[in-house]
Amino acid sequence: MIENVPAVKDAHENDTLLVGTVDTWLIWNLTGGINGGLHITDVTNASRTMFMDLNTLEWNQQILDFFNIKKSCLPRICSSSEIYSHYKIRDTEIPIAGILGDQQAAFVGQKCFKSGEAKNTYGTGCFMLFNTGNTPFFSKSGLLTTVGYKFGNMPTVYALEGSIAVAGSAIQWLRDNLGIINESKDVNTLAALTPDTGGVYFVTAFSGLYAPYWRDDARGCIVGITQYTRKEHIARATLEATCFQTRAILEAMNNDSGHPLTYLKVDGGMTASDLCMQIQADLLGIQVERPMMRETTALGAAIAAGLAVGVWKSLNDLDKVNSDDNDLFKPQISSNDATQRYQLWQKAVEKSFDWA
């Protein structure tokens, strides 16, 4: 925009330009906008811009110089949990006390407060975050390093992240493009009509593959099709595609950490499917834990704000929050069976390379 939009270029040169992520825009408006609104963000959103130094939690001047961006146009970086200001409505002042990026909010909502804990959010895409403690850990296995959260003056907590580009959107593709289901939820009914995929593997690389493959030349493919293949097999293979990619990310995290994960916390729209979560437990070979209240992104934002205003005094006070009546899915197949199926999945992934 600085290079192509004259108004933005002029504002940048004249130090009248302000930019930021969505949280920055919301808080700026809530605190007055052009009449003295706060121009801030938190460490998790700032880390997404790739302009922030993960060690210092400040804007990296070398990167800004490279892109010819003035620091004056960027928001001030704050923690994820503190009272930043107040939103005034009539005679009431409501504290604005928590800021978190989307996946980091789910990370907090799942209470991944201990090093080695991980959550996976199954939405349009799929995002797994693994708590690595108070020091940024840089992956050797194709994962991203990000800030998990920072509560006030407490030490920063970092995470490794693995992203899947296509998860729930593959189910939408079955509905909208192939027309084999009428509603997204119908995929579970259809997939449950068969005990397996009949040897079919669906690599949902509609626009390339994210972690840990990082192949923008990959394209979607369905392999193992025979005359026996039915739409039920395609539906089940679609659910398995997300579960296989989750295993690929989990193995990368296990390789980096040296401490294999023993259970996985899950949330997001696809977790409503008991069948999908059982497949996930089977293919991972570990327990999958699904909370009763699955809107963990909203819960994480509430936790950050609640800690700042004193609803909870410490992380220990959160032990019973959203902990009752969790659903537990345990592996029901052998590790050898899971490994053999995963090896065939990896073979299918290789078929998706070099198409673009």
Provide the percentage of residues in the chain whose pLDDT is more than 70: 100
Per-residue CA distances from 143 to 118, 120, 140, 164 (Å)? 14, 14, 7, 11
Residue 294: exposed, middle, or buried by beta-carbon count in 10 A (0-12, 13-18, 19+)? buried
Per-residue model confidence as pLDDT tens digits over 119-176: 999 999 999 999 999 999 999 999 999 999 999 999 999 999 999 999 999 999 999 9
Tokens coding 146: 């990000």
User: 194 falls in which pLDDT band (50, 70, 90)?
Assistant: very high
CB-count exposure of residue 107 (10 Å: 0-12, 13-18, 19+): buried
| Structure confidence at residue 116 (pLDDT) | 92
Give residue 258's pLDDT: 86
Torsion angle of C-alpha atoms 109, 110, 112, 116, degrees rounded to 10 = -150
Write down the pLDDT at residue 330.
97
Q: Which fold has domain 102-356?
A: Nucleotidyltransferase; domain 5 (3.30.420)
For residue 348, what pLDDT is reported? 98
Of the candidates 101, 99, 89, the residue with the CA atom closest to the CA atom of residue 38: 99
pLDDT at 69 > cutoff 90: yes
pLDDT per residue as tens digits for the range 294-326: 889 999 999 999 999 999 999 999 998 998 889
Percent of the chain scoring above 90 in pLDDT: 95
Q: Are strands 287-290 and 118-122 parallel, antiparallel or unpaired?
A: unpaired
Which pLDDT band holds residue 342 (cuts at 50, 70, 90)?
Answer: very high
Sorting pLDDT into bands at 50, 70 and 90, what band is 281?
very high
Where do the structural domains in the chain lie, given as residue ranges? 6-78, 102-356
